[in-house]
Copies of this chain bind each other. A is one copy, B any other.
Amino acid sequence: MEIENAPDRLRGLPSWLLNQGALAANRIVGEGLAAVGAHRSHFAVLSALDEFGAASQAALGRRCGIDRSDMVALVNALSRDGLVAKRPDPADRRRNVITLTTAGRRRLRSLDTVVARLQGALVAPLSAAERRQLVVLLRRVVEHHGAT
């Protein structure tokens, strides 16, 4: 937005700071990823597949914090781009097995560097130690509220 002279009550409020921080983060990361034709959710799903291997759409959603109804279009888009393969699970015909393709793994490696650069822009005013500490504190809060 462009905030000038915010009230002390807001400037000291964790919830307000988290909100404003998330706005800045989404703007920076969103635009940066859009510039290479990607999206934050793409990175999340590709990461989950890379770290845990093939999974159902529902499992992917649970890991990334994405609703399974939103996962449908997301997986379809990634599949259309050849970054992911989607086929019915022969062992459980309710599920789809989502697999990371070679192109998907290459794409993820490419996005890794992009994302790293964008994170740097986001936490630019912090030293390396401060960045680590911010991550630690945020992680404690986030995990306390439902994330494993």
- Chain A interface residues (CB < 8 Å from chain B): 1-22, 24-26, 28-29, 40, 43-44, 47-48, 50-52, 62-67, 112, 115, 118-119, 122-126, 130-131, 133-135, 137-148
Contact = CB atoms under 8 A, between A and B. Distances in A.
23 contacts: A1-B66, A1-B67, A4-B62, A4-B148, A5-B62, A6-B65, A6-B147, A7-B44, A7-B64, A10-B44, A10-B47, A13-B119, A15-B119, A15-B122, A17-B135, A17-B139, A18-B25, A20-B147, A21-B142, A24-B146, A122-B141, A126-B137, A134-B141
B3 A65 contact: yes
Contacts of A65: 1-3, 6, 20
- Copies of this chain present in the complex amount to 2
A125 B141 contact: yes
A107 B145 CA distance: 29
Contacts of A147: 3, 6, 11, 20
Judged by DSSP, the binding face of A is: helix
A53 to B, nearest CB: 11
A2 B64 CA distance: 9
A146 B7 contact: no
Given A3-B62, A3-B147, A7-B47, A138 B18 contact: yes
Closest 3 CB pairs of A and B: A22-B22, A17-B138, A15-B25
